[in-house]
Structure 1
Amino acid sequence: MRESTIAGVSDLIQDALAVYHDDPAAAAALESYAVRLAEPLRIAVAGMVKAGKSTLLNAIIGEEIAPTDTGECTRIVTWYRYNHTPRITLHPVAGEPRTLPLKRENGRLVFVLGQDRPDDVERLVVEWPAESLREVTLIDTPGIASLSEGVSARSVSFLTPADAPSEADAVLYLMRHMHASDIRFLESFRDTETGRSGTVNALAVLSRADEIGAGRIDSLISAGEIAERYRRDPSLRKLALGVVPVAGLLAQSARSMRQSDYESLALLAAMDRSDRERLLLSADRFLRASVPEGLGADARASLLERFGLFGIRLGVVLIRAGFTDPTPLAHELARRSGLDPLLAMVTGQFHARADALKARTALVGVETLLRTTPREGSGHLAAALERLQVNAHEFRELRLLATLRTAGTGLNENLAEEAERLIGGAGTAAHLRLGMEPEVSPEEIMGVARQVLHRWRLVAESPLMDRSGLDACRIVVRSCEGVLAEFAALQRQGA
């Protein structure tokens, strides 16, 4: 996003603070929007109970710091932020925040709430020196549609507040299968103040993908086919930027692999194939077995808990295929878990648009304030707000992306599909916009961009194009011009 737009949003907030300086609630809200502009992007991880939210969050962070059991801490909204020094802060519903002790059990972080009940805790904030948290704040939310109405309501009110921007700039929504309740939540997230701004900012994750194929080695292939079918489903397509299958448990354990994990997998890999296949027919059989020698009951239980049968089978196959060192094995397991495509999509769809999404949240907050708490002398705020919304091309791309996936435009199906890609529907990198491979040269990108720009200018000049189609063409043309301008600037710098 252009610095002038970010500066304009920041100036708007300061002007609004001057108008609402005598309203403590309004001033506090405006100050929070100013802080959000300077902070990393906020991505919430949401989904139904036992969808694997905390497990996937650990995989993304690369450490097991989010509780994955069904304990009381999974009922609390928990923020994970970067800091050089680890710290856990409990923010109660009433009273002052306090620091919790740092405690680990079996390598996992444990939250000790003391006398506080989950219902008395507004949020937990975990600050951790993980590189993956430098550019993003991850927010773990309680399960939606929980048997406890209070737990479910806590997530819904946090993510879809009434008459206010969501606390999250974007959402990773986990689902085991696509149910009506999943669609209802995504619709409610779209219908928040932020969603009504014309932004598709949710990404669906087909979590626990290994279970789709009953733990077979080819489970992720089957899950990928299902994810593609979901992606094309009209009811989900308009609500999410994409659908990605991930074996969350394998991803988490691969990113935090221990030497003991590798040694246990290596013992299994050394077994006779037929004996090993019989051993891995079921979890019960694996736990009860006495072979191979050296793999004790505790080690079996730990391996099964951390990797599941799918991860164990895949790890053994990879070791026998030549991954005989823990580090390369861990990287390959993470790749095959589906985590890498998910991280790439999060980077392309969310990180690349971080400034636009944060600025959009701030503008929605100011717009809501002007509508719900009007003030004399605020006309200049409304005018400045409208200028920012209309003139920022990043916002126009986000609105068009939502329109293409919902109401549609005057473009035919092929042009609409290409337009979606050119405005960043598959990611904002130039090669993704143009449908090219990552390794193409800048000269090739510029050549294709010129061709595409010329063609879309001709499309825009068609006398048969209606107003909505013409508006879409103008945005696409501007996006193509942006790609050319970006690479022309790079060439000048390298000259």
Structure 2
Amino acid sequence: MIEPGIDGVAGLLRQAREVFHDDPTALAVLNELEGRLEGPLRVAVAGMVKAGKSTLLNAIIGEEIAPTDAGECTRIVTWYRYGHTPRITLHPFIGEPQALPVTREDGRLVFNLGDVRAEDVERLVVDWPSASLRELTLIDTPGIASLSQDVSGRSKAFLLPEDAPMAADAVIYLMRHLHASDVRFLESFKDTAAGQSGTVNALAVLSRADEIGAGRIDSLISAAVIADRYSRDQNLKPLALGVVPVAGLLAQSSRTMRQSDFEAMKLLAQLDRRHRERLMLSADLFVRAAEPEGLGQAAKASLVQRFGLFGIRLAVALIRGGIGNPTELAHELARRSGLGQLLDNIAYLFQTRAAALKARAAVVGLEALVRSTPKDVALLLEANLEKLQAGAHEFRELKLLATLRTEGISLTPGQSAEAERLVGGRGSTLPLRLDLNPEASPEQISEAARNCLNRWRLLAENPLTEPAALEACRVVLRSCEGMLAANSPFARQPVR
């Protein structure tokens, strides 16, 4: 018997193994779907050429392991996942996977393809012992709208499969400004097999945000205003869950700050303010200047390369404001770069819904497999698949969340915010859904859930409630009932 809800997806995959026990191709697909269901959430980083994808990916990981130059490896889809020991594996389109040497230059990971051409590589897989990758597998994709049709085609084939689940569960989409091609891509992404469920799992990032204000110290304030305007744009709003401004270079360098960087910033902070600002009118002028004493051209060129003029100005201002050690400076720079807000959004929008997003991908994969099979072979599997989707409340929650965050429903702002919270938009635990203290007692949880249930039942029974809002009420009511059931004494009782 298949369990109700997303817990039944694993059972469906086992049933599918019995149906396709003598079909090696189908079994390979099922292996992939099972691995996906059990593994970490997969998040792809996408965007136009030079949007800063690899730099942002390094910032999220906290190490400079993704190549940020215009080399061959930036033309290849590259997976970064957790591993106990560093390892790089090349997967060619034809032939067996092969290990690549793990080498670093100036602290950065170097990919050496040997005699293999980039166009012959399906993907690179980097296993890395980073705590950031334990719960999140990151996928770096080549630039969309590249001058090379081959490079652009790789990203589109990976991100926009026509009749299969996308290999990533969610997408962080980088843009330097809102362009028609960005909207077209996100529209295509929503129309893929994974997007046809009505869920929206793309988060937009206004990347290189410090450049919006020409590197001035208030650049991120200007970028935040623009990001807010973009998030309310009627073309973008139905396609992305929000827009976050991030100064990617500063975010990356703050997470990988060296003692030498801090000492150099301290020397700059000792200069007269007016003189320092004159030196920093341009990167070239800053590097060629003789001042300050003890800071050579090579060191200043490294600062510009790693932090940019915006990052240097901000770091110097923070040191002059009282920050006296590199750890504190790194944390403050990371916070001000917008990285903290981005990580919070990833956790809030994607990681709290990881189980449902992964289950949805497995269901899409099973649907594609069943469609390609003669009807009589997988008749029972198809029936169970339809039954599971009809009873999977978690999928309806995902769809409602997407609607609330993008298109909106004819509810009051307060009702919309409460609906989003009750269906798990701010976290899936009962206290988070009910806006209670994490240490709330079972009695407090039950009382809060009953109050919500009664309030939303009255709204659902109101004859003036519009049809779209009525459907939202039904989903919220089911979530409230589920919370009461999960908090009942029988549900809390340990299994003997």
Deviation of 1:125 (Å): 0.5
Q: CA-to-partner distance for each residue in 1:27-73, whole Å, 9 max, x for gaps?
A: 22122111111111111000000100000000000000000011111
Q: Please state whether the residue corresponding to 2:366 is helix, strand or coil.
A: helix
8 Å contact 1:345–1:427 — kept in the other structure? no
Structure 1, unmatched stretches of 5+, are: none
Deviates most, 198-207 or 293-302: 198-207
**Matching residue's letter, 2:234:** P
Alignment correspondent of 1:182: 182
**Matching residue's letter, 2:327:** T
Alignment correspondent of 1:298: 298
Inter-partner Cα distance in structure 2 for 1:40 and 1:384: 26
Inter-partner Cα distance in structure 2 for 1:212 and 1:445: 46
Alignment correspondent of 2:51: 51
Q: Does 1:370 align with 2:361?
A: no
8 Å contact 2:163–2:192 — kept in the other structure? yes
Alignment correspondent of 2:69: 69
Alignment correspondent of 2:31: 31
Inter-partner Cα distance in structure 2 for 1:195 and 1:32: 19
Q: Please state whether the residue corresponding to 1:132 is helix, strand or coil.
A: helix
**Matching residue's letter, 2:118:** P
Inter-partner Cα distance in structure 2 for 1:403 and 1:341: 22
Deviation of 1:202 (Å): 0.8
Q: Please state whether the residue corresponding to 2:236 is helix, strand or coil.
A: helix
Inter-partner Cα distance in structure 1 for 2:9 and 2:245: 36
8 Å contact 1:348–1:429 — kept in the other structure? no
Alignment correspondent of 1:114: 114
8 Å contact 2:240–2:406 — kept in the other structure? no
Deviation of 1:375 (Å): 3.2
Deviation of 1:212 (Å): 1.0
Alignment correspondent of 2:101: 101
**Matching residue's letter, 2:292:** P
Q: Please state whether the residue corresponding to 2:324 is helix, strand or coil.
A: coil
**Matching residue's letter, 2:237:** R
Inter-partner Cα distance in structure 1 for 2:427 and 2:181: 28
Q: Does 1:357 align with 2:357?
A: yes
Cα 1:329–1:404 change in 2 (3 A) is: closer
Deviation of 1:403 (Å): 3.9
Alignment correspondent of 1:86: 86
Alignment correspondent of 2:440: 442
8 Å contact 2:81–2:125 — kept in the other structure? yes
Cα 1:250–1:405 change in 2 (3 A) is: closer
Q: Please state whether the residue corresponding to 1:112 is helix, strand or coil.
A: coil
Inter-partner Cα distance in structure 2 for 1:450 and 1:456: 10
Cα 1:440–1:218 change in 2 (3 A) is: farther
8 Å contact 2:400–2:472 — kept in the other structure? yes
Superposition CA RMSD, Å? 2.7
Q: CA-to-partner distance for each residue in 1:372-406, whole Å, 9 max, x for gaps?
A: 32331422212221222122222111122334467
Alignment correspondent of 1:342: 342
Q: Does 1:333 align with 2:333?
A: yes
Alignment correspondent of 2:478: 478
Equivalences for 1:24-423 in 2 at 5 Å?
24-404=24-404, 411=411, 415-416=415-416, 418-423=418-423
Inter-partner Cα distance in structure 2 for 1:440 and 1:9: 30
8 Å contact 2:237–2:407 — kept in the other structure? no
Q: CA-to-partner distance for each residue in 1:147-171, whole Å, 9 max, x for gaps?
A: 1010000000011112111011111
Inter-partner Cα distance in structure 1 for 2:39 and 2:235: 33
Deviates most, 175-184 or 380-389: 380-389
Inter-partner Cα distance in structure 2 for 1:153 and 1:249: 27
Deviates most, 401-410 or 165-174: 401-410
Deviates most, 464-473 or 72-81: 464-473
Deviation of 1:96 (Å): 1.1
**Matching residue's letter, 2:82:** Y
Q: Please state whether the residue corresponding to 1:236 is helix, strand or coil.
A: coil
Cα 1:269–1:429 change in 2 (3 A) is: farther
Cα 1:421–1:228 change in 2 (3 A) is: farther
8 Å contact 2:241–2:405 — kept in the other structure? no
Q: CA-to-partner distance for each residue in 1:337-373, whole Å, 9 max, x for gaps?
A: 1101110110111111111111100001111222232
8 Å contact 2:4–2:392 — kept in the other structure? no
Q: CA-to-partner distance for each residue in 1:226-278, whole Å, 9 max, x for gaps?
A: 11111112221111111111110000000000111111111001111111111
Inter-partner Cα distance in structure 1 for 2:420 and 2:319: 42
Deviation of 1:430 (Å): 6.2
Paired positions, count: 491
Deviates most, 376-385 or 422-431: 422-431
Inter-partner Cα distance in structure 2 for 1:96 and 1:360: 30
Inter-partner Cα distance in structure 2 for 1:309 and 1:431: 44
**Matching residue's letter, 2:333:** L
- Equivalent pairs: percent with the same residue? 66
Q: Please state whether the residue corresponding to 1:203 is helix, strand or coil.
A: strand
Q: Please state whether the residue corresponding to 2:322 is helix, strand or coil.
A: coil
8 Å contact 2:68–2:74 — kept in the other structure? yes
Q: Please state whether the residue corresponding to 2:235 is helix, strand or coil.
A: helix
Inter-partner Cα distance in structure 2 for 1:322 and 1:448: 46
8 Å contact 2:6–2:392 — kept in the other structure? no
> Please, what TM-score do these two structures have when normalized by structure 1?
0.92
Inter-partner Cα distance in structure 2 for 1:274 and 1:487: 63
> Please, what TM-score do these two structures have when normalized by structure 2?
0.92
Deviation of 1:459 (Å): 0.5
8 Å contact 2:197–2:399 — kept in the other structure? yes
8 Å contact 1:197–1:364 — kept in the other structure? no
Inter-partner Cα distance in structure 2 for 1:207 and 1:311: 15
**Matching residue's letter, 2:315:** G
Deviation of 1:286 (Å): 0.7
8 Å contact 2:4–2:388 — kept in the other structure? no
Q: Please state whether the residue corresponding to 1:126 is helix, strand or coil.
A: strand
Q: Does 1:456 align with 2:456?
A: yes
Q: Please state whether the residue corresponding to 1:234 is helix, strand or coil.
A: coil
Inter-partner Cα distance in structure 1 for 2:407 and 2:325: 52
Deviation of 1:115 (Å): 0.7
8 Å contact 2:198–2:399 — kept in the other structure? yes
**Matching residue's letter, 2:130:** A
Inter-partner Cα distance in structure 2 for 1:120 and 1:338: 37
Deviation of 1:187 (Å): 1.1
**Matching residue's letter, 1:35:** G
Cα 1:249–1:475 change in 2 (3 A) is: same
Q: Please state whether the residue corresponding to 2:145 is helix, strand or coil.
A: coil
Inter-partner Cα distance in structure 2 for 1:478 and 1:90: 46
Deviates most, 249-258 or 27-36: 27-36
